[in-house]
Structure 1
Amino acid sequence: MLSDSGEAYLVFLEAIHLGECAFYQLDQSLFVANGWNIRKSEAVRQGWCHLQRTDIGTMSSVVCMCREFTNGDQCFHQRFLLDYGEQEFPIERNMQDVQNITILFSRTWDTLLEDSFINHFSVANSSSHNTVKNRVVVEYSGDNRGGGNWTCVKEPSANSCEHIKHPKQTLRRLFDGHLPPGDATASNEVIDVVFDRTEINTLAKSVAGVSTSVTHKPLPPPVWAQIAADGRRAAVPVVRSPPALIKLDQSAACSCRRDGSKYSNAIRIEKRSSVVYNLLEAHQITTEVQKCPVCPHGYIGPDGTDLGLFNYNNRSWFTIAILDDYTAHFTKSETPFVSWVASTACRYQTCSSAMPFVKEKLFRAAWFAYARLLQLDRDMSCSRCGPTPNVTIWDGVTLSFSQKNILPTLRPPTTVNESSESKPAIKPEATLQLIAERAVRREIVTILQGPTLQLPKASHSPDASKPTTEMTNMMQRIQMIPPVIPKLCEIDGSLADAFDKWFGFGVLFSWKPVQAPHQELFLQLAAEESAVQFINERALHNLKQFLQHPLRHHTSLLRLCPAISKVVNIDFESFGSPSKETFEVLKWIYVRSALILGRLKKYGFPEISPALSWRDDWRKTGACYGMPQVRNRPRYPGIPRENSADLGGIDLRGEGCQKFYLTYSENRKTGGLMVVWCPHSVCYGFHIIPRSEGRNDVFSAIFTRWKKAPEVVIYDFACALQPYCMLREPEFFANTLFVIDAFHAKGHTKCGRASFLTNYLETNPDLILVNSSAGESGNSGIRRIRKSVSYMSQDRAILYTRVFLSIWNRQRIRKMEGLSH
């Protein structure tokens, strides 16, 4: 048996911080923890004990009901709460008292069964006073219906007891009446919920855990993921048989990272038994350590990276190769920690390892500590698209974790602060469409939408007197043409003349079908979208040049506006020059669009803030982009609901886009991940969406990171994003084309074709080569880590996502550089 102090207590502390020995706070004074077997130095999985902390003046007293140290000595649970209680569980005077309350304090997925959970309840004996002695733990394993296995820790041999009654009621009310099945709030792979007969909502707290390791030197990316931008870095040795003794050197340090926690000749050197875990087997070794002079229970140890080793805590060492191995697995296919650790344990048995592989929680903690040291920079840029791509593909991905785990450090690009510029002159603008009158727009769309307008020819068939449904609909559309012409004349005579010439009875009675480009042009003129979606500032400038010199070799200037380009080309083929009607309509389009653009512009081009040209710590903010922040997101006090989230649903008027925004995230989860790709499927950045996806996410990410807006923004909701961006920053986004890719276009049945990428492919060859599905390809890869991220804390979710996307990028960059095998 180990001593109850010294090394044995350090083993207990490590188990607490790794989560191998669970420790929860239920209220200000009540705690519950796994029992601890001091002889085996391991947690008692089926054994739980309650603790009670009492404050007496400035001192604290702790009572523990565990079975160890019954001779009156202080147990490890008590020592931990006295040593670290203020740090891990600071006093909160407003914390709810849980007297006579049944608490679901731990809920984890059962890795062996689908849709099965392991739940732990702290149950009060309602007939007794609320003391630490009168509480027991009840365990339930099964689905949310409660039909699994119930066990009372106090009476484990009994099939049923009085203590199980209340937890059964709690589980039923929790999932049948208040939460959808399978949903709860999570923290570091453990779901903590408090629920009781009075519907109290206080949450149990668990120990934060350790995020740093003794190894502290930066680590290069795995050799199979290195790219030219990494430069020449010393290769990490491959360890097959570790040295029997690893000595201290000048690089040795303590994991606390405090000043004075490094190797010193003045401190006595001790030797500690340790284990190195390799790909195939574990090796017993000896590690030299020194007592850390600045932290109470820490030890200074060797770094080990020069040997190809990773020192997690001076007891558990891992070869860099085995840590890289997990990185390879989870980035290639869906591989949660549980699955990989289980398969590695089998491999150890196959190779007759003298010691088994570590448990999942220890390996997970070690891998995250290793991932924090990986030098994964210079990989969010494509060699073909450059540091700031002109064509960007944006998409929100359902990669989320519990909202309970959101920390105050989370700072997406949508965040505004005291340095954000206020722009009160920006206010909503009405009638931004080319044709301002709504009724006229609706009539034009009714006339022109559908099969090409054409009068049916007379038929001598016996059934000719029986009109078909298609014929009836066509005749109804044609009968609407004469009344709409004078209405167009009130807007502008050129529109009425063109409409009459292209769709009037003169052309219809010639028995010729209406030209499809003419029909398409007027449909886009009557669309609900803003005029600057139909023709942006760059295309407007080109139109002006063409109107000044309407020559055939200048028609290429119109390629940025396909509806105009096709009509003009028909005129050149038929008449050798633009017809009078076409020319006058183009002049009207130019004047009307320039007027609308001028109405929107109220401020100059946004300046770059030199003080912001540095990179925030993405590990905390959750915003990780390949370029630094160059501006703050402004405030727009003149826009109503500016700080509100985009609502899901459809346009209730039935006129606009019917695929506006859906609710992507599950209840009690974050809103997902906003990711930007280039056409070569290289990720240029991402940020965590705290609540729900919206236009603000794309707008703010571009505005705060791009010095000049991209020429093309491809997004599922580009039809809604374009007016959002142009209202707020028209100078910045004036030349940007916002389009929906072909994959997502199916649900946008009410959107004008000016919002679709396919509309531009025929006239703009530059866009033909754009792989608009690059984002969908990347997003399908991200879904490999969806399940793993869903139960992580914020810092781990961010780091795990960054490692995945960095490796994803590096694999594609290596192909471009000809380095892939």
Structure 2
Amino acid sequence: MANWDDDNEPFILEPPPEITQAPEAYPGHLNHFIPSPVRSFNANRNKRRAQRKGENGSKRRKNTENGSNAGSCGEISAMGDMLPTIDECEAPMAYTNPVNDENPFAPEPLAEDMDQDDAYQEFICLVEDQCISFVHVATRVYVVEGFDERKKEGTGIFYHFEARKRGNSLDLVCQCPAGKDICVHRRFYEEFREARFAAQEAHLDLGEPYKQGDHRSRANLQSKDGDVVCFARIQIDTEKDVWISRFSVAGGTASDTGRSRAIVTFEGIASGAGKWQCSKDRDLHGAECAHMTRAKKLLDLITGNTGSEVGEDNIGDRMYMVDGMNAGGNSERSVSYLPIMPPPWALLPEDEILYPYPSPNADVPGLLALDERSRSFCGEHFFSPLAPKLQKDCTVYTLTHTMPRKVELQWCPSCPRRRQCFIGPEPCDLGLFNYNNSVMFTHELMNELTSRYTSSETPFTAFVQAVDRLYTSRGCRFVGEDLFRSAWFAFATNQELKNDMSCSECGVHPKTVIWDGVTISFAKRHLKDTLQPPTCITENAPRRKRTRVHKQQWLPHSNDKTTPVRKLLVNWLRKWGDKKASESMSKAPNVDVEASSEEEDFDLSAKDSAISETTRREGELQEVQRRLVETGAAPVRELLAEVYGAGGNSLHWRLRKRYKMLLEQIGAEESVLQMVNEKGLRALKAFVECPDANSISLLTDIPVLMMILEYLSHNQKSLVSLVALSKWMIQRVEAVLSQLKNRYDVPLQKLPMGEVTTEDWRKDAVTAFRKSAIVLHIRTSLVTQNLKKM
């Protein structure tokens, strides 16, 4: 009961009785209970809820102000919370209540704010069960499949993931859309590195290259950087022998990073006829890129379409196939597996009647029970009457609304519990399609999309939007586009549509196919006069005479009329770089003492030609070395002699290739900063100070130099020439940087000292407004005083 006295004290309500169950409706006057939403698309509900809280708070303040206890210091609400006084309520505010165990009506977390640990746990289960790829394809590179954290399923799009050691730390770089943050792939690698990846990276056991008679050990570091790796090969059509093959293909540079590799996909028959796609070269409009050409060579080796031997210098020596993906893992899996009849309007006279069509108006049972037809989501186990059962909630999506129901389940005996794989019912006779034991769709809904697509070419996006609008008018929401697309394709896979994909007049393969398209662009009337190009020069822009710094190359050219030394170097490398010093002489024929005079003359001329070619090679090499010394690039001259002199014949062909790339980059017609930026400069200095394995791993921004140093360090070779080259590179980069920083004859405008934030413009705007308001106030006061004096 309320107590009231004559001193105008605030009334006090007795404590409410203990509430053991939450109310079913939203009690807006309490501002405590918020029902948990059903799905993650209720973002607008939060906004409306906040607005409702603000309105309720305003009503409370208004009632308090007009009440008899306006002078009190506070007020006790019906729930026992202290409400602010009138003075404390000048600014709009919303009443919230902290979440704790003592508050029975604490708001539950919304679905869109759900902890990402649930999605990550599902990702672990999918990777453990080979439903999502995480394949080791090269020394430091993996291929991972994208993961939708909201829908908790794979996206079917593949990316490269790189785990590279940088000094004493480990750099993890993922090319997925969430790779800039802590994505699920990085979390998975960090958590399971010792258990799953450490031994594999140490032994580099990735499989053997497709080369006859080659049983070399794969323990060598460089032999694991496969240029072309087939990481997935799945047969999708057994009758036509159609396969999907996926490849990780390295680029044309010496870098073995994940960023330089491309994902190439081929869908077609074993003979090579089909469709090729490349993740990097998507704008070729059907043309063939370099990545596709390399992938085709490996595909020919896999299918046996080539009879040529693969030599050491051939790219096939760096090709292999890894078995890192479950062939049964695809986006068209579901719990329902029995054949589904076509809709009545698409039923042909020769189609078999599998079951009577269920009535669309028939009610769905409250509990979908298990029977002998029930199967697990993985498709490996069926219902067991001896195993325990459990019940969970599920949602049935019809053509117009949702129906919450209960589903009877059993744990899958083979899948790990973390995967949440259950044996669920097969309700095809009820007109339901069980997608994953949590989401079910009516056959009527699925057939409606088929009907609209075949009659009016309605895409998935438009259909999902139309159904969602219909759902919204009934107080519920439809599923997302991606989830519905995966479910519909799984439904269409089970639907009985055999041998009827042909035209009654044209047959299976029509001679003429007509394609329709629409070109979309902006109308001219939408352009404004204020639109200016970014190169527009303003009136206050500083004027500088020098806008470019010349001679930024590694090997700058003097102003004389001689050929630039960098051009001589690159031309020599492209002409003689792939040949060893003694290669021409080794290919010269030997003179047979018993041969005829004509044969002897021919052999002598061939040998003389080989000697002449070797002489030209050595003469041109000496000329390049002389010009390098004149330019001040003595370390480059020493490296060139070490690699292409007589002592370089014993170098491995892969190492010679990377030396050639390094020298070509030094002779390139570009600035030194294209190869070594300021971050790379710091790494070079660290390497020169202490040339060990940790400092070598810091040179990730100079990949070709880093890989050469890794090879030499791994095989315990001398690094003297490369250390001298690095010192020369440091001097050259510092000289160019100094010229670039001091090239302005007009000083740059410096920003004021202090903390600069993204909100500075707002502060400046507020300050300017306040200054204007003060001036206006002063001017108004002066006018008022003058009027009073008059």
TM-score (norm 1): 0.29
Q: Which has the higher contact order (CA 8 A, sep 6+)?
A: 1
